[in-house]
Amino acid sequence: MRFDFTDEEKAFREEVEDFARTELPPDWDEKALYWPAGYGTFPGIEASFKDMYDELLRKLGRKGWLSLGWPKECGGMNSMTRHVILDDVMSYHRAPGGDVSTAIAAPTLALIASDEMKKEWLPRIAAGELRFWLGYSEPNAGSDLASIKTRADDDGDAFVLNGQKIWSSGAHIADYGWVLAKTDMNAARYRGETLMLVDNRTPGITIRPIINICGIHSFNEVFFDDVRVPKKNVVGQINQGFYCVMLALQYERLFVGMGAFRRVLEELVLYVKETKRQGMTMGKDPLIRNKLAAMAIEIETLYGFYWRTAWMMDRGQAPEPEASALKLFGTELSRRLAGTAMEILGPCGQLERGSKWAPLRGLMNLGYMDSISGAIGAGTSEVQRGIIATRGLGMPRK
Amino acid sequence: MDFDLTVEQKLLQESARDFLARECPRERVREFEETGEAYPPELWRKMAGLGWMGLIIPEEYGGSGGSFLDLTVLFEVMGFHICPGPFFSTVVLGALPVLAAGSEAQKKAILPAIARGEHLMTMALAEPDSNGDASSIMAGATPAGDEFRLGGVKLFVPYGEHADSILWVGRTGHGENAGDGITVFVVKNGVPGIQKTGLKTLVRDRQCELLFKDVRVPKDSVLGKSDLGWPVVENTLEKASVVLCAEMIGGAQAVLEMSLRYARERVQFNHPIGSFQAIQHYLADMWMDIHGSRYLLYKAAWKISEGMEAGMEAAMAKARIGEAFRRVTLQGHQIFGGIGFTKEHDMHLYHKRSMTGDLQLGHGDVHRERVAVRLEL
């Protein structure tokens, strides 16, 4: 056993810390949003951050840091541990350390795409030049992806897409959709779907913003109206899309913004040490000490799932219950942490960003709302529990 | 990172599992709870034969020189099987502090006998007003010639009636900090002036009250240095709380495995209840609670094994695991329904231990305060 990093990993961690300190804009701490494991305030999701975000991704790409977890033959470092170290440090700074294209799509492509496809896409993703959005959910198919209705009809060298996607985070600032569509309307459940890459600029695509509960434009509805997708953009095999998505989800579940949990705790600790209430420093209050200690313990527990999932992936094991537990525990902890933060801040906690009375820049209040999203998106908590029980613990299906 | 046990640790784990499954079935545990025996002597002898009592005792004192991590692995298996007996009190509360602070003479007199399974030990620490820290130690020890005279009430002394020697913690002075002026004595359990009363607890774990009335011990009974005993106690408690966590995780794992088996077999409404979402969700939460906690446990144990400071990790583990075991057990009860509420079913054995384990060595609030201190609050 060893609950520590190797010397090389420690040096890498330092390097990332340096990078974050020097490359993030000087006023970033003032501007940065993002609640751990939330989907509504992703780093860079606000359109106003787009340029900064684009530039940062390209810098990360030049360092070779967008492909850390990919296999060596695809230009990666084959180290999910390094990938999560990067994610931990960058999310601590509430900054992007990768996105859908680098952390979800690319590792999946590396496993199942044809050589030509890897050659065409992976270098550009590694360089931070392409951004993807996830086109899974539909108005009547959230967690139940076998029920999607968007159809892709065979038309020679292309598929023709018609239908609608929803909850598409970041589609408005991305370049390509990672889209699941029905290619065989008569096939059994899970057997007639195909995953494909859809260029946002193709005629027939309409992207309509959805403003989330935090007041931020993160989601979109995306409409396909006779959108032609060349067949060479099919990921994996035709009619095997559901399985490709299951594979991709394993990577997605690593995305909890681990460092951001640590950051929130540190900010709360500092706040209660510096703030007096009724003549007493809040940090001396046993109730507050107890609450913050409880959060510290939960955060450390989450780190266990985080490092373990990456470690298992590095050893070629499928972290079946572990990745789901990471996602489930992380998103539910995100809600508990937000609730605790609001209880500690008291009445001023309800003030929105911009008010001079809003403690901690109103970030906790934003997080309180954003924390709702995590346990719903990317497979609800109920879905994750089902996965742990059936696939992890061998419980029978009805 | 490396989450794996070594090959040797896996062997230890497997052989301990096989041994206890054979030698310590639940009926045996149940039987033992009803008798007044100190420990099941045959089981104890066999455990000694396997080298368990000497696992962390260095070879020069008749042990095998294993690590604290090895001991943690063993405790997890013992918790799984609810292995009864004074193993915890002898090895953790006794051998570890002797090893850490004892004189050469004390080590030679005690450790080989422990390793052979021929010497039982315990520590007398808590008092009626105990809150787990040094300030609650009132029992006094006064020097008189070449002796010390010890007096005071000690509570919750595990195996206090049966131990061959007792590490008795008392106050020899006062200082700036509550821990200053505390001394640990090695007391033979036969000396005059010790009054022992068994305490009946939830799990019949042979805890007792020890009343010391002018108990006279020679000066060389001091373990380590006079007035400077508290760090020895603290260090012992840190390790004790980690192995207690290991026992609890083992118990929680047993509850989960029992529940999984039952959920597969028990049919209701024409389906195995394990196919119902409500039951699946309980099981998923139980698994998650155990695996999340196990990381805290082994991180603390690893750090102690490596000689690193582990106060934060040990406190985190104790705070979380006591509660996690209770949660897991209650969810298990929910799955078993009525049968789990009976004395004939095994659930109660674990349920009671989840409560006593949480209360022992400071419950969650005490350890969360330790975490708060380490967060620099």
| A307, closest residue in chain B (CA to CA) | B1
CA distances (Å), A107 to each of A76, A134, A249, A378, B23, in order? Answer: 9, 14, 11, 17, 49
Give the pLDDT confidence score for residue A276 in this predicted structure: 94
CB contact under 8 A, B2 and A1: yes
**Each residue's pLDDT tens digit, A172-204:** 999 999 999 999 999 998 899 999 999 999 999
Is B10 an 8 Å CB contact of chain A?
no
Look over chain A and give the mean of its residue pLDDT values, rounded to a whole number: 94
Share of chain A above pLDDT 70, in %: 100
HSE on the CB side for B108, CA within 13 Å? 3
**Each residue's pLDDT tens digit, A347-364:** 999 998 889 999 999 999
* Residue B294 identity (one-letter amino acid): R
| A310, closest residue in chain B (CA to CA) | B1
Give the pLDDT confidence score for residue A50 in this predicted structure: 86
The whole-angstrom separation of Cα B238 and Cα B93 is 11
Furthest-apart CA atoms within chain B: distance in Å: 79
The CA-based angle B283-B285-B287, given to 5 degrees, is 70
pTM for the structure as a whole = 0.94
pLDDT exceeds 80 at position A322: yes
Residue carrying the six token digits 């095998």: B64
**Each residue's pLDDT tens digit, A279-314:** 999 999 999 999 999 999 999 999 999 999 999 999
Give the pLDDT confidence score for residue A155 in this predicted structure: 96
CA distances (Å), B307 to each of A128, A370, B99, B241, in order? Answer: 43, 42, 14, 16
**Each residue's pLDDT tens digit, A251-288:** 888 889 999 999 999 999 999 999 999 899 999 999 99
pLDDT exceeds 80 at position B132: no
Neighbours of A262 (CB within 10 A): 19
Under the banding of pLDDT at 50, 70 and 90, the label for residue B264 is very high
Share of chain A above pLDDT 90, in %: 83
* Residue A299 identity (one-letter amino acid): I
The whole-angstrom separation of Cα B143 and Cα B216 is 10
CB contact under 8 A, B284 and A393: yes
Give the pLDDT confidence score for residue A251 in this predicted structure: 87
Contact A181, A205 (CB under 8 A): no
Is B278 an 8 Å CB contact of chain A?
no
Which string of DSSP letters, residue by residue, matches B219-260?
A: GGGEESSTTB-HHHHHHHHHHHHHHHHHHHHHHHHHHHHHHH
Q: How far apart are the CA of B4 and the nearest CA of chain A, in angstroms?
A: 5
Q: How far apart are the CA of A18 and the nearest CA of chain B, in angstroms?
A: 23
**Each residue's pLDDT tens digit, A59-78:** 999 999 999 999 998 889 99
Query: Which candidate, B130, B135, B133, B175, places its Cα nearest to that of B156?
Result: B130
Of A49-58, A228-237, B326-335, the range with the lowest mean pLDDT is A49-58
CB contact under 8 A, A308 and B288: no
Of A311, A321, A325, the CB nearest to B1: A311
Dihedral of CA A287/A289/A290/A295: which sign?
Answer: positive
Q: Could you say which DSSP state residue A138 is in? A: B
- Measured in degrees and rounded to the nearest 5, phi and psi for residue A170 equal 70, 10
CB contact under 8 A, A289 and B372: yes
The whole-angstrom separation of Cα A284 and Cα B372 is 10
Length of chain B: 377
Under the banding of pLDDT at 50, 70 and 90, the label for residue A143 is confident
Is B298 an 8 Å CB contact of chain A?
yes
Q: Give burial (CB, 10 Å; 0-12/13-18/19+) of B130.
A: middle
Per the model's pLDDT, the better-predicted residue between A30 and B246 turns out to be B246
Dihedral of CA B244/B247/B249/B255: which sign?
Answer: negative
**Each residue's pLDDT tens digit, B87-128:** 999 999 999 999 999 999 999 999 999 999 999 999 999 999
Segment B6-10 long-range contacts (CB within 8 Å, at least 24 positions apart): B6/A1, B8/B70, B9/B69, B9/B70, B9/B73
